[in-house]
Structure 1
Amino acid sequence: MQLNGLIFTLPKEIKLLIGAFIIVLSIGFFTGLLFVGETSSTNPNGIEEQYLGNEDDENATVMRFKKSDQEMLTLVHNHILSMAIIFFLVGLLVAITNLNNKLKLFLIVEPFVSVMLTFGGLYLLWKGMLWMKYIVMFSGILMTLTYSLSVLIILKQLFQKR
């Protein structure tokens, strides 16, 4: 079965369904990023503080405490499972676009690597590997860029005449 470019041949109803899904999914995805910006700041030290607390910082404006075992396991579990489903569905849609095979393969596989590095990295950071905050930040940025590019390609090709 030829998948490359299959998106152009889908019926109008399926294209509308996919378009609506991608738009609503993206609202949820980017709202999550806004939440990250509000809770842990967008720098490595803010990430560290969010999970390890700041009780020792006398100048802290907001007191944060180290996450408990249950909080960390719940966060890692929920994010890895939900993002695996999100990126599986987006990956299926990328698979039917008309793209260079190497770029397509990167857009399909990279988000799964970033999910493991981001949320596995948060867990390792919480366990005391403080340098993981840089891996978490880099992989989170790469995951967001990959998601954004995938969504733009899908939406563009959904409503483009072949």
Structure 2
Amino acid sequence: MATLRIYDLKEHVLALDLRDLLQLLAPQSLKASWTVSTVKSSDPEHEWFEATGEGGEKLEALAQGNARLSGSDLAALAANAPQVIWGKFVGFVPMHSEQPWVTIRAVDSTFYEIETDDEAVLGKIGTTYKDVRKGEAAVTSWRLGDPD
């Protein structure tokens, strides 16, 4: 799978959020089912999910149980979460419900990571955002002490 990291800034803060990515990847993102989970640390006892707003609180509760929800439900929650600081969102399309279509990770409000084999998704990311870097490997854990 290809891994891209989006570092676009606007006024010294990350210029995008989960709702922007879901909108960019529509209509497929709305048809997909999504698993919401935490970002693991190198210490198995620590993991993070953090988001702001009413939608962020609901997403955080869902992440604690690795909940699965529809794309439209995720989009509605993301619309009410001004910032996702830490979080992992794995999308599955109906025809291939066992293999992830795309994984979106929010990493410490520093960047968003997109992992997918879908060339259309990679193309949209590359043409929409300015500071897109190829990731050597997807973030699957974070060293303890790195988050604020």
Q: TM-score, normalization: structure 1?
A: 0.29
| Higher share in strand | 2
Q: TM-score, normalization: structure 2?
A: 0.31
Q: Which structure has the greater CA radius of gyration?
A: 1
| Higher share in helix | 1
- Pick 1 or 2: higher relative contact order, CA cutoff 8 A, min separation 6: 2
